[in-house]
Amino acid sequence: MSTMAIRRALLSVSDKSGIVELAQALAARGVELVSTGGTAKAIRDAGLPVKDVADLTGFPEMMDGRVKTLHPVVHGGLLAVRDDAAHVASMEEHGIGPIDLLVINLYPFESTVAKGAARDEVVENIDIGGPAMVRSSAKNHAFVTVLTDPADYPELLAQLDADGGTSAAFRIRMAGKAYALTAAYDAAIASWFAFADAFGNPLGPDALKATPFPATLPLAFARKDELRYGENPHQSAAVYVPRGPATPGIPQARQLQGKELSYNNYNDADAALELIAEFAESDPAVAIIKHANPCGVAQASTLLAAYEAAFDCDRTSAFGGIVATNRPLDAETARAITGIFTEVVIAPGADEEAQAIFAAKKNLRLLLVDSLPRANRPGLQLKTIAGGLLVQSRDNGTISAADLKVVTKRAPTERELADCLFAWTVAKHVKSNAIVYAKDGVTAGIGAGQMNRRDSSRIAAIRAAESAEVAGWPASRTVGSAVASDAFFPFPDGLLAAAEAGATAVIQPGGAMNDADVIAAADEAGLAMVFTGMRHFRH
């Protein structure tokens, strides 16, 4: 493959940025310009000579632009192998002229979906002729140059000026980029059809039910950033965002200060944001996260009080933690948070004074989100395993007081019930086996990620006792608390460990073979226990 001169170019772009300047530069270099309707108009309006593609094909652009370039004169011009005698003969026979350069970008399908357009408008933004031309010219990269990104226009001109044509290496690179574009574009279209409801698209709720898991999984994500490294320094990492509509999350947050986010920061900050999103509508709330598990969560009448209570739950673990709030940050809360080393703070806003306080901590990463994501939104979770990919719907199950079944002789008091629901909500965001003690809207002790439930229960109680000691409280806050278990207690031992720690109320899914024994043990210990009928495993 050698350097290829550009004599004739076809320009057809939806995103017209830089196109007039490029057309100008090409015309100045003696390139003949051919173009489609809107692009031709922009070029012509700039006073440049341009031929309409309709003049080439002998057909007008028709059917609202659905058919413009889908013609052998265009595709023959892009696909002909220039040094194949038979191809050249066909070109001569049918009056097909070679097209050396295609400058193109596609109908804005993804942004049309993202703005919530109606089905008809989305469908009309599925580009047909554009991808066809991209594929033709990229296939014929031995002779044809295809540009799909305005960012590549300067390099083209530099090549023309340096060598009088494009290099094989450039054409190959642009062809690869072009196929990546059509692949991602088609994946975006396919996922709109497949996951309409999961991604909040406008096909309606029945679309997901009809095809929960399509035979082929189309995913279209664009790389947002390459990260310094992955979970460990010897791992490489990047963060991708959907090419279509995205739930506002950590990748969409505005980072006001601090070093760039690491892989672990993304993971922990996401855990924090998802947890605090559960409290979007409630009193001021704060969650402190370490290694994707909460180490303190609290609700209070002010954000400062909520932070202090969450911090007191486990001051040791809060060091180097990720803090998320459900309210914009104020100065007092900012001052308290910066009292210890904190990696990341996420909030739906921060007033000027708070921002100034954070600014003094150069390494602290401050992320502001426009709004908290909807906790019970639909969506999918993906996890790679050796040889495959596990896909499931998000755990968006929620429980209210009306869903609970009292199974003990004693029903929970109003306060116990509130603490049960609070502890249950937090437990949903704790790695299994999860045990969460809570009192007065504050976590008292959290046991996460143990291989048996009794150990989680004990660890949570130990943490709570240590926290009481550190804070100088007369007793552990597990005394008089409610305890939540993410899955049923298979035996009474885990529940008894909680009773021993002073819990007076229990919330758990129920459904164990031994439920009767567990209920009897709860009655004997004077506990009030409710069943949710819903489990919240999180692995």
Question: Contact region for ligand FAI (CB under 6 A) — 100-108, 311-319, 381-389, 468-476?
Answer: 100-108
Q: Per CB under 6 A, does 112 bind ligand FAI? A: no
Q: Per CB under 6 A, does 192 bind ligand FAI? A: no
Smallest distance, ligand FAI to C-beta of residue 104, A = 5
Q: Per CB under 6 A, does 55 bind ligand FAI? A: no
- Using CA atoms, how far apart are residues 271 and 297, in angstroms rounded to an integer? 13
To the nearest 10°, report the CA torsion of 90, 96, 101, 103: -120
- In the bound state with ligand FAI, the residue whose beta carbon lies nearer, of 137 and 508, is 137
- In the bound state with ligand FAI, the residue whose beta carbon lies nearer, of 192 and 424, is 192
State the CB neighbour count (10 A cutoff) for residue 407.
19
Question: Contact region for ligand FAI (CB under 6 A) — 124-132, 160-168, 208-216, 287-295?
Answer: 124-132
Residue 360 exposed, middle or buried by CB count within 10 Å (0-12, 13-18, 19+): exposed
DSSP alpha helices (H): ranges in 437-487? 453-471
Q: Per CB under 6 A, does 56 bind ligand FAI? A: no
Contacts (CB under 6 A) with ligand FAI, residues 209-268: none
Interface pick for ligand FAI out of 5, 20, 46, 70 (rule CB under 6 A): 70
Residue 472 exposed, middle or buried by CB count within 10 Å (0-12, 13-18, 19+): exposed
Smallest distance, ligand FAI to C-beta of residue 33, A = 12
DSSP string, 237-276: EEEEEESS-----TTTSEEEESSPPPHHHHHHHHHHHHHH
Token readout for 161 is 């000026």
The residues, ordered by sequence, that sit 6+ positions from 180 with a Cβ below 8 Å of its Cβ are none
- Using CA atoms, how far apart are residues 445 and 294, in angstroms rounded to an integer? 10
Contacts (CB under 6 A) with ligand FAI, residues 331-370: none
Q: Per CB under 6 A, does 150 bind ligand FAI? A: no
Q: Per CB under 6 A, does 314 bind ligand FAI? A: no
Q: Per CB under 6 A, does 37 bind ligand FAI? A: yes
The residues, ordered by sequence, that sit 6+ positions from 186 with a Cβ below 8 Å of its Cβ are 131, 218
* Secondary structure in 3-state letters for 81-105: CCCCHHHHHHHHHHCCCCCCEEEEE
Helix (H/G/I), strand (E/B), else coil: 444? strand
Q: Per CB under 6 A, does 122 bind ligand FAI? A: no
Smallest distance, ligand FAI to C-beta of residue 371, A = 32
Smallest distance, ligand FAI to C-beta of residue 241, A = 22
Relative to beta strand 32-35, strand 101-105 is unpaired
Contact 48, 24 (CB under 8 A): yes
Question: Contact region for ligand FAI (CB under 6 A) — 36-44, 80-88, 175-183, 449-457?
Answer: 36-44
- In the bound state with ligand FAI, the residue whose beta carbon lies nearer, of 138 and 276, is 138
Choosing from 291, 361, 405, 428, the catalytic residue is 291
Helices 153-163, 19-28: axis angle to 10 degrees equals 10
Interface pick for ligand FAI out of 20, 25, 48, 67 (rule CB under 6 A): 67
- Locus of tokens 């899955």: 487
Token readout for 22 is 């490029």
- In the bound state with ligand FAI, the residue whose beta carbon lies nearer, of 146 and 448, is 146
Per-residue buried b or exposed e for 520-535, using 16+ beta carbons within 10 Å of the residue's own CB: ebbeebebbbbbbebb
- In the bound state with ligand FAI, the residue whose beta carbon lies nearer, of 38 and 150, is 38
Helix (H/G/I), strand (E/B), else coil: 445? strand
DSSP string, 482-521: EEEESS--SSHHHHHHHHHTT--EEEE----TTHHHHHHH
- Using CA atoms, how far apart are residues 205 and 67, in angstroms rounded to an integer? 32
Choosing from 41, 51, 87, 139, the catalytic residue is 139
Q: Per CB under 6 A, does 461 bind ligand FAI? A: no
Smallest distance, ligand FAI to C-beta of residue 67, A = 5
Q: Per CB under 6 A, does 182 bind ligand FAI? A: no
Contact 103, 41 (CB under 8 A): no
Question: Contact region for ligand FAI (CB under 6 A) — 99-107, 166-174, 300-308, 314-322?
Answer: 99-107
Question: Contact region for ligand FAI (CB under 6 A) — 125-133, 252-260, 320-328, 436-444?
Answer: 125-133
Q: Is 51 a catalytic residue?
A: no
- Locus of tokens 């992955």: 230
Element (DSSP H or E) covering residue 346: strand 342-347
Q: Per CB under 6 A, does 136 bind ligand FAI? A: no
Q: Is 536 a catalytic residue?
A: no
Smallest distance, ligand FAI to C-beta of residue 390, A = 37
- In the bound state with ligand FAI, the residue whose beta carbon lies nearer, of 53 and 286, is 53
- In the bound state with ligand FAI, the residue whose beta carbon lies nearer, of 127 and 330, is 127
The residues, ordered by sequence, that sit 6+ positions from 215 with a Cβ below 8 Å of its Cβ are none
Q: Per CB under 6 A, does 38 bind ligand FAI? A: yes
Q: Per CB under 6 A, does 107 bind ligand FAI? A: yes
Count of residues interacting with ligand FAI (CB under 6 A): 21
- In the bound state with ligand FAI, the residue whose beta carbon lies nearer, of 146 and 310, is 146
Smallest distance, ligand FAI to C-beta of residue 242, A = 21
Interface pick for ligand FAI out of 27, 104, 271, 438 (rule CB under 6 A): 104
Question: Contact region for ligand FAI (CB under 6 A) — 60-68, 351-359, 400-408, 410-418?
Answer: 60-68
Report the interface residues with ligand FAI, using CB under 6 A: 12-14, 36-39, 65-70, 104-107, 127-130
List, by residue number, the catalytic residues: 139, 291
